[in-house]
């Protein structure tokens, strides 16, 4: 059911997407760990999509020290419903922007964005501008973790700046490899 909801959001307005974030359901971190999710960018201008991506993957892996970590995988842009096919460089999938997934407690965020988990790029070795980004994630249906909704916002000087960058995540497959960049990522104390 949640997959159908996620796909129906492809044409939703920003107001509807924001409402879905605010009314979303908690995400159980143990339900998403060990999986890659296929992402679809929503509500971005076509020019931005052409310069970045419409589809991508986000991953969730439990580090032996207990942290829930992840990374983005660039996909070949074969079409919104095409099977995921990672872009490759030197025979390896192109990965970008590792992150840590944390609970919302103590994280500055726009009002109402605290229902799920938070992808925190500031807790990973990313470029300075990427470290400002946080992505709250909510489940679209209570207890169903096959489809999630997220949005990106920036934290600049303790203030939250919302962006139009919404995305859905649909469970794609079990992880079969973890990049060294993530396996060896040091913990960031906050």
Specify if 182 maps to a domain.
no
Residue 84 lies in a domain: yes
Look up the domain containing 22 and give its range.
2-173
Q: Give the number of C-alpha atoms closer than 13 A to the C-alpha of residue 18, restricted to the C-beta side.
A: 10
Q: Is residue 180 part of a domain?
A: no
First to last CA, the chain: 37
Query: Does residue 127 sit within a domain?
Result: yes
Longest dimension (CA), the chain: 43
DSSP-assigned beta bridge partners for residue 131: none
Q: What is the CATH number of the domain that holds 143?
A: 2.40.128
Average pLDDT along the chain: 92
pTM of the model: 0.93
The candidate with the shortest Cα–Cα distance to 101, out of 119, 81, 75, 89, is 119
Task: Dump strand ranges (E) for 143-186.
Answer: 144-156, 159-174
Residue 59 lies in a domain: yes
What pLDDT is attached to residue 48? 59
Residue 132 is encoded by which pair of tokens?
A: 């400002």
Segment 1-11 mean pLDDT: 89
The single residue listed with the structure tokens 């207990």 is 66
More confident residue, 40 or 187: 40
Q: What is the pLDDT, as a whole number, of residue 43?
A: 73
For the chain, the helix, strand and coil percentages under 3-state DSSP, each to the nearest 5: 20, 40, 35
Structural domain total, the chain? 1
């Amino acid at each position: 059911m949640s997959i159908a909801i996620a796909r129906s959001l492809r044409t939703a307005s920003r107001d509807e997407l924001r409402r879905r974030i605010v009314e979303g359901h908690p995400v159980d971190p143990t339900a998403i760990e060990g999986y890659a999710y296929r992402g679809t960018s929503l509500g971005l201008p076509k020019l931005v999509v052409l310069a970045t991506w419409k589809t991508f993957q986000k991953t969730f892996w439990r580090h032996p020290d207990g942290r829930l970590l992840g990374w983005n995988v660039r996909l070949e842009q074969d079409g919104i419903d095409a099977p995921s096919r990672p872009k490759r460089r030197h025979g390896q999938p192109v990965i970008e922007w590792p992150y840590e997934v944390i609970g919302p407690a103590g994280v500055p965020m726009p009002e109402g964005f605290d229902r799920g988990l938070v992808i925190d790029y500031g807790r990973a070795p990313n470029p300075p501008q990427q470290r400002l980004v946080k992505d709250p994630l909510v489940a679209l249906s209570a207890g169903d973790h096959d489809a999630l909704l997220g949005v990106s916002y920036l934290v600049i000087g303790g203030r939250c700046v919302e962006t139009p960058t919404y995305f859905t995540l649909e469970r794609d497959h079990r992880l079969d490899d973890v990049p060294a960049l993530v396996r060896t990522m040091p913990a960031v104390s906050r």
